[in-house]
């Protein structure tokens, strides 16, 4: 089990920033960041504090799901709205960090961008459902319109930008999970 990815998923499901979670646990934001990236491990006492702040406990956190689902209703999505940044991210599969891929539905308001995603292993696939975006990588920028798909080999920083006048919606899949 990747403890960091699971903590990140639970934090985002509670709509907490790393700083908010750190404050609730009397930890530093840097520690939470390193923990979520599996660069450090918490003590049992620290993990108990973090899980309590996330509304769960050790038993629930480490228990395997009873059965893997096939269909996930909209109510099961974990949604992170960032109105100031003009974006909303919906994780379409609960506990997707346990899978080999992680699908999200990304909505970008006009003029909004995703944060720069640092280089990492794997691939990212996107399909533009509505609007248009610029796919920005170290190699430049390429426009993707409604009905277009894109594939990113994330060996360099990358992001999406919505230069349009209406929202853009993108189905985005990362393998392995990285969102």
Rg (CA), the chain: 17
Q: How far apart are CA 141 and CA 123, in angstroms?
A: 17
Q: Measured between alpha carbons, how far is residue 73 from residues 93, 94, 151 in Å?
A: 9, 10, 27
pLDDT of residue 20: 94
> Considering only CA atoms, which of 147, 141, 136, 143 is closest in space to residue 169?
147
pLDDT of residue 17: 92
pLDDT of residue 113: 95
Domains and CATH numbers, the chain: 3-62 (1.10.260.40), 74-175 (2.60.120.10)
Q: Quick one: the chain helix, strand, coil %, rounded to 5? A: 25, 30, 40
pLDDT of residue 82: 93
> Considering only CA atoms, which of 152, 168, 162, 164 is closest in space to residue 106?
168
Residue 118 CB-density burial (10 A; 0-12 exposed, 13-18 middle, 19+ buried): exposed
In order along its 179 residues, the chain shows pLDDT tens digits of: 588 888 988 998 888 999 999 999 999 999 999 999 889 999 999 999 999 999 998 988 887 654 457 888 888 888 989 999 999 999 898 876 677 888 999 999 999 999 888 888 888 999 999 999 999 998 799 999 999 999 998 888 899 999 999 999 999 998 877 76
**3-state SS class at 99:** coil
Residue 1 CB-density burial (10 A; 0-12 exposed, 13-18 middle, 19+ buried): exposed
pLDDT of residue 138: 82
pLDDT of residue 73: 85
Q: How far apart are CA 41 and CA 66, in angstroms?
A: 26
């Amino acid at each position: 089990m990747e403890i960091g990815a699971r903590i990140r998923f639970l934090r985002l499901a509670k709509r907490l920033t790393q700083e908010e979670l750190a404050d609730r646990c009397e930890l530093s934001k840097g520690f939470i960041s390193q923990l979520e990236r599996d660069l450090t491990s918490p003590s049992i006492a620290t993990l108990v504090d973090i899980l309590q702040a996330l509304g769960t406990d050790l038993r629930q956190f480490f228990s395997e799901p009873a059965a893997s689902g096939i269909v996930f209703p909209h109510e099961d999505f974990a949604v992170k709205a960032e109105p100031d940044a003009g974006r909303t991210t919906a994780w379409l599969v609960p506990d997707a960090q346990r899978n080999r891929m992680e699908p999200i539905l990304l909505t970008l308001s006009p003029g909004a961008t995703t944060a720069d995603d640092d280089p990492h292993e794997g691939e990212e696939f996107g399909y533009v459902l509505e609007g248009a975006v610029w796919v920005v990588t170290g190699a430049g920028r390429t426009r993707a319109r409604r009905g277009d798909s894109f594939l990113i080999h994330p060996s360099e920083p990358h992001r999406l930008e919505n230069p349009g006048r209406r929202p853009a919606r993108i189905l985005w899949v990362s393998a392995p999970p990285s969102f």
